[in-house]
Structure 1
Amino acid sequence: MELTSLDYLKRQVLYTGFGNVLDIKLEQNVAKELIEFQLTFSREFGKDKATALLYFSRSEKGQYFFNKYDLEVKNELGTSVTHTFYVNNKARNFVEGEKPKHKTFTVKEAYNQLSGRFVLKTMDNKEGIETTAWRGIDFTERNENGRFKAITFPAKNLNVGKALKEIGYPIKEMEREAQAKEFISSIERGDKVYATLISDGQEFRRRLVADPEFRSLKIETPIVLKKQEQEVESKGVEESNSQQRSTEQRKSDENVRTESSDKRKGVFKFLR
């Protein structure tokens, strides 16, 4: 079904993850027949605040386009990072009732990249050829406009399903097919993901991050086992033993963080 310029803009904004909260403002600005206009959007991801500035323009034929958006992510400490994400306007046909194959980073995917994580995404390259690759941001280098550079790595660098099997422990989230599929997809989207590793009947929660540069999954931020905590409470372990375990846990945390530190300095300073 052929959509009007306004309807198309609404669909673009919706599928880019901004929902329909901007619909009324879109209608108002299009009605004014403005050559260009910008809209703002904000939402929170946990304790992080994301603020977006969306750019729209009208062609000589009167067709409106959603061109790009700037996204700033500020954490609870006040540290912020900003990047520009461009919108793919080549395919302008939406089928009613069907979600289109979206070749623009959603605001959640953009947030994930600004948090230091990679996203596996199918997009058109500069030659217009559809390419699936791991995409992220290099926080160590800026372009001529002072913005951080986008970086890509081939999709073949990291097969998440295969990498999960090579971790060396059974993973609870991989036990059921439907759950496993969503678990893998979540890592590929760059979401914050925690895996429940099983060893000797105990469950260990570990955060997993895709690292296509080094063709692996990184294990970060250990979390104290729920099962261990329950055992400590039920057995009434003495305070001295508890303090000893806390010391050992801190040492373990430091070792894991050291082993999983990124070789590209600065990339994970913002990551939490």
Structure 2
Amino acid sequence: MKIALEDYNTVMEGLAELHTEGYAYIAYDPAFPVMDVRELNAFDNSYDAVEYCHEMRTDVDFFEYESIWSLYRAMEKGLEDSHLLDMQDGMVDLSILLNDYYRIESETIRHKNNMDMNQKNLEYLTDQVKYTGFGEGFADVLKEKIATGDKEFKIDHSAKFGNDTVDATLNFSKSKQSDMYFFNSYNASLLKEGSAEKLEQTFYINRGSNITFKEAYNLMEGRAVHKELQNKAEEKYNSWVQLDFKHSDENGNFRLKKFSENYGYDMEAALSKHPIKELQRDDFKDSLMDSLKKGNVQLVTFQVDGKETKHYVEANPQFKTVNVYDSDMQRLGSRESRAQNQSQGESQDNKKANKTEVKDVEVVGDGATSEKAKKTRGQKV
């Protein structure tokens, strides 16, 4: 469709009126310039417009149709940018203008979709990093990394757990099919206070069952963590996991020992064998068990003969029990724990206290434990 430049505004006004009246398409003979679109045949649907063009076609005449609103929007773009107007001998070709308009709109939509996708990707990665235990404050650095368009990028992070330092390198990669980025894994490196040797382990990001940063520290300390896992058939199941420091895979990663529900570990029953005050209230008990399932060492109160003593406990699913430590983190042997329980029972039954003499109490201190851990955990088989 060609129009004279002086008829530009008239044609625009006519298109606006037709659109207001409910028309959607106009049909025209491209061989003749258009001065007023209101003189053309207008239709409220494309089917009628196509049928009209087909019926009017002859060996000499050839009719075409266009969207009224698209033409109007294209002419608006032409007013905004005169470079879009293809002019010859004072005539403007609206068909060329319309094609340029479609191209610009397509690029704009594509750019907007990419911006939306990048924003959603950024929000997803930020949440994923946050809920994997690395905290907030990663949005800006993630945005900068994504903007580079690199196939891979890394982010370093460090944290203190007590007196121990854990460094982490978060690994991200770009999809081969799109511009989306994924949080694939993180490499954790544990340096214990007073030690020059680091323990390293890579933890992979899985849907809904990520090992959090704190859980990674607990695992590297040798403790067990309770997680919801997924098998190859994408079936979910609950299991305790623990690093096996005696065996590593082909990548040098320590293998995971798993103790599923079928293994028969009942942590609540194991806790109930000890005189723990916090078990007497459901809210305290639930909080205690949740903490132990994350692999934490939890401070509790032992009540024996009316006296309260602070101890630490941790889950031990492999031996279906809980480990007990004193306030200095010296492990109490099973004989001593049984003596405490027996003493509590005798007190409740009004029997004479301290009736049973306990000998050869096993106490494994931090020094022995740590030295063994250094020798075992520092070497990957």
The residue number in structure 2 matching 1:45 is 161
Do the aligned residues in 2 keep the contact of 1:195 with 1:207 (CA within 8 Å)?
Answer: yes
Q: Could you say what secondary structure the match of 1:56 adopts?
A: strand
Which structure has more RCO (C-alpha within 8 Å, separation ≥ 6)?
Answer: 1
Q: Are residue 172 (structure 1) and residue 289 (structure 2) matched?
A: no
Q: Are residue 161 (structure 1) and residue 268 (structure 2) matched?
A: yes
- CA gap of 1:104–1:49, structure 2 versus 1, over 3 A, is same
- CA gap of 1:216–1:112, structure 2 versus 1, over 3 A, is same
Q: What are the within-5 Å matches in structure 2 for residues 209-224 of structure 1?
A: 209-221=314-326, 223=328
Among residues 151, 158, 167, which one is paired with 2:257 in the alignment? 151
The residue number in structure 1 matching 2:143 is 27
> 2: distance between equivalents of 1:268 and 1:87?
29
Q: Are residue 86 (structure 1) and residue 204 (structure 2) matched?
A: yes
Q: What are the within-5 Å matches in structure 2 for residues 52-63 of structure 1?
A: 52-59=168-175, 60-63=177-180
Q: Are residue 114 (structure 1) and residue 220 (structure 2) matched?
A: yes
> 2: distance between equivalents of 1:12 and 1:194?
30
Do the aligned residues in 1 keep the contact of 2:272 with 2:279 (CA within 8 Å)?
Answer: no
The structure whose Rg is larger is 2
Among residues 296, 304, 315, which one is paired with 1:191 in the alignment? 296
> 1: distance between equivalents of 2:158 and 2:363?
34
Q: Could you say what secondary structure the match of 2:255 adopts?
A: strand
Deviates more, 1:152-161 or 1:74-83: 152-161
Among residues 68, 73, 77, which one is paired with 2:190 in the alignment? 73
**Cα displacement string for residues 7-52 of structure 1 (whole angstroms, at most 9, x for unaligned residues):** 1111100110111222211000101111110110111001000110
Q: Residue 206 of structure 1 aligns to which amino acid in structure 2?
A: H
**Cα displacement string for residues 136-168 of structure 1 (whole angstroms, at most 9, x for unaligned residues):** 10111121222211211113532222211122x
Q: Could you tell me the TM-score, scaled by structure 1's length?
A: 0.75
- CA gap of 1:266–1:43, structure 2 versus 1, over 3 A, is closer
> 2: distance between equivalents of 1:155 and 1:119?
13
**Cα displacement string for residues 114-147 of structure 1 (whole angstroms, at most 9, x for unaligned residues):** 1110000102123322111001101111212222
Alpha-carbon deviation of 1:194?
Answer: 2.2
> 1: distance between equivalents of 2:281 and 2:374?
34
**Cα displacement string for residues 191-227 of structure 1 (whole angstroms, at most 9, x for unaligned residues):** 1112211000111222212111111112234559xxx
> 1: distance between equivalents of 2:222 and 2:375?
5
Q: Could you say what secondary structure the match of 2:226 adopts?
A: strand
**Which consecutive segments of 4 or more residues in structure 1 shift more than 3 A?**
221-224, 265-270
The residue number in structure 2 matching 1:257 is 364
> Structure 1 unaligned runs (5+)?
90-101, 225-250
Do the aligned residues in 2 keep the contact of 1:136 with 1:150 (CA within 8 Å)?
Answer: yes
> 1: distance between equivalents of 2:222 and 2:142?
32
Q: Residue 183 of structure 2 aligns to which amino acid in structure 1?
A: F
The residue number in structure 2 matching 1:137 is 243
> 2: distance between equivalents of 1:106 and 1:215?
24
Do the aligned residues in 1 keep the contact of 2:132 with 2:212 (CA within 8 Å)?
Answer: yes
Q: Could you say what secondary structure the match of 1:13 adopts?
A: helix
Q: Could you say what secondary structure the match of 2:295 adopts?
A: coil
The residue number in structure 2 matching 1:96 is none
Do the aligned residues in 1 keep the contact of 2:277 with 2:300 (CA within 8 Å)?
Answer: yes
Among residues 130, 139, 146, which one is paired with 1:14 in the alignment? 130
> 1: distance between equivalents of 2:299 and 2:135?
27
The residue number in structure 2 matching 1:246 is none
**Cα displacement string for residues 41-69 of structure 1 (whole angstroms, at most 9, x for unaligned residues):** 11100100011000001112111100000
Do the aligned residues in 2 keep the contact of 1:116 with 1:267 (CA within 8 Å)?
Answer: no
Q: Are residue 205 (structure 1) and residue 310 (structure 2) matched?
A: yes
Q: Could you say what secondary structure the match of 1:184 adopts?
A: helix
Do the aligned residues in 1 keep the contact of 2:267 with 2:317 (CA within 8 Å)?
Answer: no
> Structure 2 unaligned runs (5+)?
1-116, 330-359
Alpha-carbon deviation of 1:267?
Answer: 8.9
